[in-house]
Amino acid sequence: MASEDKPHLEVLLTCPVCQDIFKEPRLLPCGHSMCMGCLEGMIDHSDLPFRCPDCRACFGPVIGVQKSFSLSNIAEDYRDNWKDKNKKTEVVYCDCCPERQELANKTCLQCEVSLCKEHIRDHLERPAFTGHPLVSPLGDLERRKCPLHDDEVLRYYCKASRDATSATSVPWRPRRGSRLLRPTQPCTLTSLDMNTASAYLKVSPDLHTVERVKTKLTYPSEPLRFEAAPQVLSTQCFTRGTHSWELEAEGYWDIAVSYKSIDRKRRDVSNFGMNAQSWSLTCNARGQLSTYHNKKRKVLSAALKHKRRIAVTVNFEEGVITFSEVGSKLTQLNEYQTKLSQPVCLGVGLYRVDPPSRASIVKVL
């Protein structure tokens, strides 16, 4: 839209560099403002003395800037109001079949694309897409971008990133390839699927930790959500290759390998290990270990300490599922030999509030 066609308020809220509504605006010493990302980009890619793009005022090697809180709030409100007006008519289509305009089934926050049921299969099955978070279809990813981590999605990285960039001066500033601007959490870490999480499980914002809660949480209704058991599956499922995870767990927990097709709604048959679709390692409140598959229990003689790490390995082609304790070396606890014929996922179940029960995915091997 040309500037002369824009409402006057929108013109006032437009960054002189990117010509979009301000995002994290910073106030320059001359009184003009620009987006923090635009300011960083100009500093990173200019060997000349920095000049204000509005008035051409020249500044020294250290630029004193402030976060313009009022301008930031006004710009955010304007953006939200604009989105609310268009929300009712927003339809998200698959980015991989624009000619057919198929409705999107999921949006990948890592690839920043929306995918229909056909094109989402690779993300669910291929190892190359391990760690790609999938959410309900989104028409706009821009508001989820983290200002510190450039092209990373805000909800999966630092919680206080916006506060951290409210800063006062820009000397020390690292170039765009610098490690200081990269996320501290590996993007390939397997994530938990919020669409499967029981309402009695609280999942962390980074989708790597889950905790059992006493009061039922308010989650949107989903056909894939566990209702009869306090369990959750990973977003990623596999139909080939060897995959290993390390988890740290405490309390009364269940770590499992499960077919994606496991029942989610019926009591007694949806618990991990109580059906033919899952294989589990369980630790009860006393620290006793057992394995379950198809309602068959095997009590293990090994006992773990209060803080415990478990490794799970799946070799799809050979049909081998191994549970091991992680210490100075891996100590095998149990191995299943089976024939895997469907996509398999990592699963976590937390069955008691007392003792406090939680589990975290800490490593992908």
pLDDT at residue 71 is higher than 50:
yes
Which of 136-140, 225-229, 302-306, 312-316 comes out lowest in average pLDDT? 302-306
* Higher pLDDT pick, 66 / 38: 38
Q: 84 or 283: which carries more pLDDT confidence?
A: 283
How far is it, in rounded angstroms, from Cα 208 to Cα 13?
37
Domains of the chain: 3-87 (3.30.40.10), 91-144 (4.10.830.40), 201-364 (2.60.120.920)
- Give pLDDT tens digits for 222-237: 889 999 899 999 988 8
Indicate if the pLDDT at residue 330 is higher than 70.
yes
Which pair of structure tokens corresponds to residue 287?
């620290």
Q: What is the pLDDT of residue 186?
A: 35
Tens of pLDDT, residue by residue over 150-173, are 444 444 333 333 333 333 333 363
Is residue 133 predicted with pLDDT exceeding 90?
A: no
| Residue 116 dihedral angles phi and psi, to the nearest 5° | -80, 180
Q: Quote the pLDDT of residue 46.
A: 61
Q: Return the pLDDT at 63.
A: 65
State yes or no: pLDDT of 124 exceeds 50.
Answer: yes
Q: Regarding predicted confidence, which is higher, 99 or 204?
A: 204
Find the mean pLDDT for residues 178-192: 46
Task: Please tell me which residue, 79 or 276, carries the higher pLDDT value.
Answer: 276
Residue 353 CB neighbour total at 10 angstroms: 16
Question: How many angstroms separate the CA atoms of 95 and 102, rounded?
Answer: 9
Whether the per-residue pLDDT at 140 is higher than 50: the answer is yes
Calculate what percentage of the chain has a pLDDT beyond 90. Answer: 32
- The CA distances from residue 6 to 2, 12, 39, 299, in Å, are 7, 10, 24, 70
* CB distance 183 to 149 below 8 Å: yes
pTM: 0.52
* pLDDT over 60 at 197, yes or no: yes
Over 90: is that where the pLDDT of 95 sits? no
What value does the mean pLDDT of the chain take? 78
In percent, the amount of the chain with pLDDT more than 70 equals 76
Q: How many CA atoms lie within 13 A of 34 on its CB side?
A: 21
Summarize the confidence of residues 70-95 as an average pLDDT.
73
**3-class DSSP state of 293:** strand
Query: Average pLDDT of 119-143?
Result: 75
